[in-house]
Amino acid sequence: MNEDQATTPQTGKRVLLARPRGYCAGVDRAVQTVEEALKLYGAPIYVRKQIVHNKHVVRTLEAQGAIFVEENEEVPEGATVIFSAHGVAPEVYEQAKARSLKAIDATCPLVTKVHHEAKRFAAEDYDILLIGHEGHEEVIGTAGEAPAHIQLVDGPEDADKVTVRDPEKVVWLSQTTLSVDETMETVARLKKRLPMLQSPPSDDICYATSNRQHVVKEIAPQCDVVIVVGSRNSSNSVRLVEVAVDAGARAGHLVDFASEIDDAWLAGAGTVGLTSGASVPEELVQEVLAHLAARGFTDVEEIVTANERLTFSLPQELKRDMKAAAARG
């Protein structure tokens, strides 16, 4: 054994670290919106629903003075309320107006795109099949744009229950955070029954969801276990675990924090895959890497399948107020 080997023991345990991972442009914008609103208007700032689906982010913003509520009725009249990244139905805006709330819309622009598609196809009297998960905030918001025209299709099995008025005037849209493969399987099932089914003008599943799933598919076949950092109510994080197992990982687990990792998962493992959902700050991934290193997983290789450079500007109503405040000095 030479001196180098003596000082750096080779454990044979490695981590394949996925990239892209973590924050997408829409999440970054939503979190920044709350932070900037707190600086500009002062605490408290009310946020309808979780701004993004991540426990750590919500707790951090609460500590800074954000108050998370379920509905507008819980916000004092005349106060400031921020709508979450997942989007809201038109009636939510009406409720805010009725309570004289100052509403700031932090909906991800890619979700807003799906809302616009829903409105346009409804105006043209199409039946709209919205592929998504029942009860998810994004689905509720999109369906609220044209409830008379939209029916939910929750996975491939739901495809056989669909009924439409005119099989030649039907289009599918989707929640932005789904499994790409499962969505295409659902579309294929729908097209068997509805051969004239139209697709959205551009893919509804967001770039970040697709990219994170793609890199997990790359690493999963080499992994004994894949750990996904993310919260249980985060659709895109939950999908990453499913994608990892489907792509060949022997096991997949979702954790909010490093402390939730069970050492039994690592017993006998040589390669651990690590990624994080689109609403997860990088510090939580680094804590997991430290946790794994303490258990002998010191060889870390980052696997990169895409470089993300997209950014979204802050909501117009917030930018306007920030500009006015700057002008006042």
Please enumerate, by residue number, every residue annotated as part of a binding site for [4Fe-4S] cluster: 24, 108, 206
Q: Is 244 within 8 Å of 212 (Cβ atoms)?
A: no
E runs forming strands in the chain: 14-19, 45-48, 66-69, 80-83, 102-105, 127-131, 150-153, 170-174, 225-229, 252-255, 271-276, 299-304
Phi, then psi, of 83 in degrees rounded to 5: -90, 140
Q: What is the maximal distance between C-alpha atoms in the chain?
A: 76
Name the 3-class secondary structure at 198.
strand
Q: Within 10 A of 284 (CB to CB), how many other CB atoms are there?
A: 20
What is the rounded CA–CA span in Å between residue 198 and residue 171? 4
The yes-or-no answer on residue 138 being catalytic is yes
Name the 3-class secondary structure at 150.
strand
Check 70, 138, 157, 302 and give the catalytic one: 138
Cα distances (angstroms) measured from residue 119 to each of 26, 125, 158, 171, 175: 21, 10, 23, 12, 15
Please report, in range form, the residues annotated as the binding site for isopentenyl diphosphate: 53, 86, 136, 234-236, 279
C-alpha 321, offset from chain centre: 28
| Residue recorded with tokens 């689906």 | 53
What is the rounded CA–CA span in Å between residue 147 and residue 168? 20
Two tokens at 47?
């946020």
CA neighbours closer than 13 Å in the CB half-sphere of residue 127 = 16
Please report, in range form, the residues annotated as the binding site for dimethylallyl diphosphate: 53, 86, 136, 234-236, 279
Helix, strand and coil percent figures for the chain, each rounded to 5: 45, 20, 40
Region of 46 on the Ramachandran plot (φ > 0 left; ψ -120 to 50 alpha; else beta): beta
Q: Is 137 within 8 Å of 86 (Cβ atoms)?
A: yes
The residues annotated as belonging to the active site are 138
